[in-house]
Amino acid sequence: MPSLGADMESGKLAQWLVKPGSKVRKGDVIAVVETHKGAFEIDVFIEGVVSELCAKEGEELPVGALLARIAAAGEELAAPARTAEPPQAPPQAPPPALPPAAPPSPPAATPPAERAAKAPAGPIPAPAKAPPALAGGRKKVSPAARRRAEELGIDPETLEGTGIDGSVTLANVELAGAGGGRHRTPAAEPAELKRRTGFDPDQMRQAIAAAMSRSKREIPHYYLGSTIDMARALGFLESYNKERPPEARLLPAVMLLKATALALRDMPQFNGFWEDGRFRKADGIHIGWAIALRGGGLIAPAIRHVDDRSLADLMEALRDLVGRARGGGIRGSEMMEPTFTVTSMGDRGAESVYGVIYPPQVAILGFGRAVERPWVVDGQIVARPLVTASLAADHRASDGHGGSLFLAAVDRYLQEPETL
């Protein structure tokens, strides 16, 4: 049972996606584990054959417990299944910094009966069960899906939901209406292909509360801010995007992400963990990108090796990550890997953000919304798009001087967008 968060003591093996005899390769998802943060896909990082499933579906297990044995390729004896947790990885997890940029929208039109049908309170609820309603309960159905289902004369509660919390979405209804039918016919697809993913907002809130309380209790934060002129970076994007179809276009977010990674490469004292009273530098630059979830809460799964990847590659990774974070389907390894966190307010958020460090990381960088403001260039006042970058860092691991150099490096990279 991998640790999916600093505050995780146990998890429930919700579902096996492999059987004894299944061949697995690095990165394959073999199981779904539910924690109080929600459901996560567990991937492996060895190649071999599953020889034994030790944990039963529904079983609650402490962190470190044996889930399965995998005979590594070319190995006779079965080795305990190692999930993708790096050997010395600090227990880490998602909710990074701040209240989400986007305030949670209330689950509109949720009748009381549906609320009552929620999983009973407990340490590890089952947040995302797609299967038929619990006894006496009703399935979650999105308002748009319910309306469309009515038009089509379909009972939405008979459909398999693939939305957040396993709710039935408009897409599920349209599919069923088109005759493609994702009606729950148990024999239709093998059990190992079904996925249960998603996040329970109440449990997410508890997880954020635990991690952020620990951060503010243990980490002596210091804060620095700088205003960055984004004219060059945005000008570069405009001409880059002009020639390209929508799916190949970049957003300013990837430039902020890449510039941060390059600055971390220059200043590695911000990329790592505070453990056992000292700083440990991380091996790669894996940036946790804070994503506000619809319905409340946020997670910050990792984008790996950001410093080595192209802007186009990072944009695809970011779009994929945001899509999966909102719909469920974030892998356990992605939750454990971040070595640093970035929280960006996007184009509708606040002008600046002062982050709360996600322990055991030692810093978080926040970017406010780009705003057009008067700015002095060569002695002249001109209108420029400006972004406020704010660093919150652990004073045990670094000092304000280093922090200032780090922010200056981020600025410098953003002034040379063609090198990103």
Partner 1 sequence: MNDAEIRQLACTLLADIAPDTDPASLAGDIDIREGLDIDSIDFLNFVIALSKSSGRSIPEADYAKLFTLDGIVAYFR
Least separation in angstroms between residue 100's CB and partner 1 is 10
Residue (141 or 397) nearer to partner 1, CB: 141
Q: How many residues line the site for partner 1 (CB under 8 A)?
A: 40
401 among known catalytic residues = no
Binding region for partner 1 (CB under 8 A) out of 82-90, 100-108, 126-134, 411-419: 100-108
Residues in the chain: 420
Q: Give the separation between CA 355 and CA 101, rounded to whole angstroms.
A: 12
Residue (110 or 227) nearer to partner 1, CB: 110
Least separation in angstroms between residue 54's CB and partner 1 is 36
Task: By CB under 8 A, tell whether 295 contacts partner 1.
Answer: yes
Task: Work out the end-to-end distance of the chain between its first and last CA atoms, rounded to an integer number of angstroms.
Answer: 38
**Cα angle: 283, vertex 303, 277; to 5 degrees:** 40
Which positions ≥6 away from 239 have C-beta within 8 Å?
Answer: none
Task: By CB under 8 A, tell whether 20 contacts partner 1.
Answer: no
Q: Give the x/- contact pattern for partner 1 in 218-257, rule: CB under 8 A.
A: --------------------x--xx--xxx-x-xxx----
Residue (248 or 382) nearer to partner 1, CB: 248
Binding region for partner 1 (CB under 8 A) out of 36-44, 63-71, 90-98, 139-147: 139-147
Residue 99's nearest CA partner among 254, 214, 205 is 205
Residue (5 or 163) nearer to partner 1, CB: 163
Binding region for partner 1 (CB under 8 A) out of 3-11, 298-306, 345-353, 358-366: 345-353
Q: Give the separation between CA 285 and CA 304, rounded to whole angstroms.
A: 7
Residue (104 or 402) nearer to partner 1, CB: 104
Q: Give the separation between CA 328 and CA 178, rounded to whole angstroms.
A: 25
Least separation in angstroms between residue 294's CB and partner 1 is 5
Residue 139's nearest CA partner among 129, 150, 149, 147 is 129
Which positions ≥6 away from 293 have C-beta within 8 Å?
Answer: 100, 104, 164, 199, 201, 204, 299, 325, 326
Residue 257's nearest CA partner among 336, 212, 317, 326 is 317
Residue (246 or 374) nearer to partner 1, CB: 246
User: Torsion angle, CA of 178/184/187/188, rounded to 10 degrees?
Assistant: 30
Residue 257's nearest CA partner among 296, 300, 307 is 307
Within positions 150 to 179, which residues make up the interface with partner 1, using CB under 8 A? 163-164, 167, 169-171, 174
Residue 90, preceding peptide bond in cis (omega within 30° of 0): no
Task: By CB under 8 A, tell whether 197 contacts partner 1.
Answer: no
Within positions 310 to 339, which residues make up the interface with partner 1, using CB under 8 A? 318-319, 322-323, 327
Task: By CB under 8 A, tell whether 89 contacts partner 1.
Answer: no
According to DSSP, the residues that pair with 383 across neighbouring strands are: 374
Interacting residues with partner 1 (CB under 8 A): 101-103, 105, 107-109, 142-145, 147, 163-164, 167, 169-171, 174, 238, 241-242, 245-247, 249, 251-253, 292, 294-295, 318-319, 322-323, 327, 346-348
